[in-house]
Chain A
Amino acid sequence: MTASLDEIFSKFEGKEEELIPVLQSVQHAHGYLSKETMFAIAKFTRVPESRVYGVATFYAQFRFTPIGENHVMVCRGTACHVRGAPRLLEEIENQLDIKEGETTKDGKYSLETVACIGCCGLAPCIMVNNKVEAKLTPKKAAELFKKEK
């Protein structure tokens, strides 16, 4: 069961400066920020809804549509780039038959790119549900997603 909004809000005081942590907690529990939750957050923090949207859309972390069961993030940091991340992304897009930023039709996978995971020593790497897969090749990536398809 996901935590209700009231449960999440009870951990905060409803101050303006808590807006980002509140957004983070809600997204963490619900997976994304729906129209209804955005309205509730605005009410709770007493920040106009327009500004809540303004803040939420500014940061890359927040999303407004549900994500798939498995969250795939391809690192596009410099070390990964020079060691072949673009080819890797292309191959994963091929295997899952979606583009970056999309979710598969069956809702199993969401594919995103991220600025840097910070595993540059083991580049190129991707993160699947918070677990890092390191030193990938397009071949290994194909195997990783082929079995699941």
Chain B
Amino acid sequence: MSFNEIRQRAIKKWEDLQQGKKPLILVGTATCGRSAGAMEVLDALRKVIKNHNVDCDIIEVGCIGMCYAEPLVYISKPESPSILYGEITAGKVEELVKGDILNNKPLCDYALGTVGDKVLDGIPKLFETPVMKPQVRRVLKRCGFIDPTDIDHYIANSGYSGLEKALKLKPEQIIEEMKDSGLRGRGGAGFPAWRKWQFCRDAKGEQKYIVCNADEGDPGAYMNRSLLESDPHSILEGMIIAGYAIGATRGYIYCRAEYPLALERLHLAIKQAKEYGIIGNKVLNSDFNFQMKIKEGAGAFVCGEETALIASIEGERGMPRPRPPFPAISGLWQKPTIINNVETLSSVSHILQNSASWFTEYGSEKSKGTKTFALVGKVKRAGLVEVPLGITLKEMIYDIGGGVLDDKKLKAVQTGGPSGGSIPANMIDIEVDYDSLNQVGTIMGSGGMVVMDEDNCMVDVARFFLDFTQKESCGKCVPCRLGTKQMLEVLDKITEGKGEPQDIELLDELCEAVTKGSLCGLGQTAPNPVLTTIRYFRDEYEAHINDKKCLAASCKALMHFEIQPDKCIGCQLCVKACPVNVITGEKRQPQVIDQAKCVKCGMCFESCPTKIQAVKKVPGNFVEKEEG
């Protein structure tokens, strides 16, 4: 069968599903949906549908990105608008099916929005809602709407048409198209994708390789996982196009083992693509041959660094080596190799399916296109979002994210994971693009964006990241191995209340040495969280060191708990919760904590009813008030 015939058949299948006479139910079962109970919802749906003898199709889809509202169920019926429902637990399924499907009465309370041209009273249009309106969904376009385990769904939605187009072009023309698009690497550093490809294209060598870096190790980021689970073929398509452009006939996907579902979907996607003649000899009946293999990572953050990743694929300890030579010249088994991030490769397929000028419709002058972010932490609507580069941080947190959780005060936003830094609240008018973020001391990174509020201690945040990089340092070069350890020890000391005045200066010196002396990106960027927190939150460091106070009342050694007598109603829930029995008082009278014996576990704080909130975290250690 020719690709055109395959496509016609896929489109027919897709249209029958979308415009059929039966209702269509989509359930988001990516990892985040599953952790919120999507599989139980799916079971319940199947049962209820059977009990009521409803004739309909149920399909598992990926993630639309609205993690805060999981599990998500999308119902589409002939003759009425499609509705996306949020927070549908298994217990609500019966009500949903009876209401929406059997009685044709949409449940406005659970509805997040409608999709399509038709409107409904009482339910907003999904893409007009505050969370969706500022977003431009291109890489995530199909996520949550197609079945990621069915290649036909991908093909029916212009999938593999980019590859079809690419194979009719000369490799140089593809690189030229990439140059016009201005696409920069989405893994963090932002190197122009076309230039890297050009190096590899020009490099001499019979065998070349294209590697997809799916070793998303940044704690607090999951853009790639979601994309791999929701639209895996877009990454395969990008890889094959890249392979053709640089002259590589073999591709490897290096995906972390912590993503079992992503791996499962990738294996299936490759199998399907082989069956359709998209991977293998004579790709889409052209003269181009392309093979693809998956390599599972084994839990080492440093393997996100390209030379370490190469060592890991070769079966070695994942340790980086000095560059040059760059992998584009000498990489996997000393052959020219290109390593691109998941989102970069997915963008490649979108650019070829559309065009370079389509890609540059959005973005800022030096940062073209859109970028996905994992907007998480202390934000009301946590989730996966895609925005045009150049959007302000403020729009992302307050419009898309809906503001800070529990309406607390915003303190900082951390971007770029352990290699990035924290941006203080007074700078949130900053535009989100590669260069603006670099200017304030952080990086764009792969897209992690962690919101922090007044309860988060910035010294602790710096300590947290150093704890991470110190554990993940491979140990090859001295500045990183010993420097991160020393920095962590100083930060530990400060958060434990043993900080000394010269510690800030010492940290500054260590940061410089580690930045300048480390072999790879892990060490070179490890000081960023420390440098930015010292730069923007020096007062917090000084309070820890000089006043022995954690201003956020988060570091245990530098805070204590108090029960406010005017708020306490004497319910004694805290007395029952206290593991060391140091809270005393009469029933219905204010309770008192014996500070000398308190272990600061926080059980009293957590057990106090949310309406009362009599237990308070107080910065600094308890000081006895003088009598009289």
Contacts and interface: CB of A to CB of B under 8 A. Distances in A.
- The answer to whether A and B assemble together is yes
Given A78-B448, A118-B216, A118-B258, A59 B35 contact: no
Contacts of A94: 579
Interface in B170-190: none
Contacts of B603: 138
A149 to B, nearest CB: 15
A89 B170 CA distance: 55
Q: Which of B260, B298, B312, B417 has the largest count of A CB atoms less than 10 A from its CB?
A: B298
Interface string A80-97: 111100010010001000
Contacts of B382: 79, 120-123
A11 interface: no
A133 B472 CA distance: 25
B572 interface: no
B219 A77 contact: yes
Contacts of B317: 54-55, 58
B315 interface: yes
B384 interface: yes
Contact of B296 (A24, A47, A55, A118): A24
Contacts of B300: 58-60
B560 to A, nearest CB: 16
Contacts, number: 153
Given A58-B317, A121-B67, A122-B36, A115 B377 contact: no
Given A59-B300, A60-B299, A118-B258, A19 B315 contact: yes
Contacts of A120: 67, 220-222, 374, 376-377, 382, 448, 450
Interface in B357-393: 374, 376-378, 382-384
A18 B296 CA distance: 11
Interface string B197-227: 0000000000000000000111111100100
B450 A82 contact: yes
Interface residues of B, number: 59
A87 B452 CA distance: 17
B222 to A, nearest CB: 4
Nearest to B456: A82
Interface residues of A, number: 47
Interface in A107-149: 114-123, 125, 130-135, 137-139
Given A17-B313, A60-B300, A118 B452 contact: no
B68 A83 contact: no
B601 A90 contact: yes
Contact of B301 (A17, A24, A115): A115
B343 interface: no
Given A59-B299, A121-B382, A116 B221 contact: yes
A78 B382 CA distance: 13
Interface in B270-299: 295-296, 298-299
B315 A78 contact: no
A104 to B, nearest CB: 19
Interface in A15-38: 16-21, 23-24
Given A55-B317, A59-B298, A122 B67 contact: yes
B35 A61 contact: no
Interface in B92-123: none
Contact of B376 (A24, A79, A132): A79
B569 interface: no
A121 B384 contact: yes
B450 A119 contact: no
B508 interface: no
A41 B452 CA distance: 47
Contact of B299 (A61, A118, A135): A61
Interface of A: 16-21, 23-24, 47, 54-55, 58-62, 76-83, 87, 90, 94, 114-123, 125, 130-135, 137-139
Interface of B: 31-32, 34-36, 67-68, 70, 216-222, 225, 257-260, 295-296, 298-301, 312-319, 374, 376-378, 382-384, 414, 417, 448, 450, 452, 456, 461, 464-465, 468, 472, 474, 579, 601-603, 606-607
13 contacts: A20-B295, A20-B298, A20-B315, A55-B315, A60-B298, A77-B219, A83-B377, A118-B258, A119-B31, A121-B70, A132-B31, A133-B35, A135-B36
Given A21-B295, A90-B601, A138-B606, 9 more contacts: A20-B315, A21-B296, A79-B377, A79-B382, A115-B301, A119-B32, A119-B67, A125-B35, A134-B35
Query: Which 7 pairs from chain A and chain B are nearest by CB?
Result: A121-B67, A78-B220, A132-B35, A60-B299, A77-B219, A59-B298, A118-B222
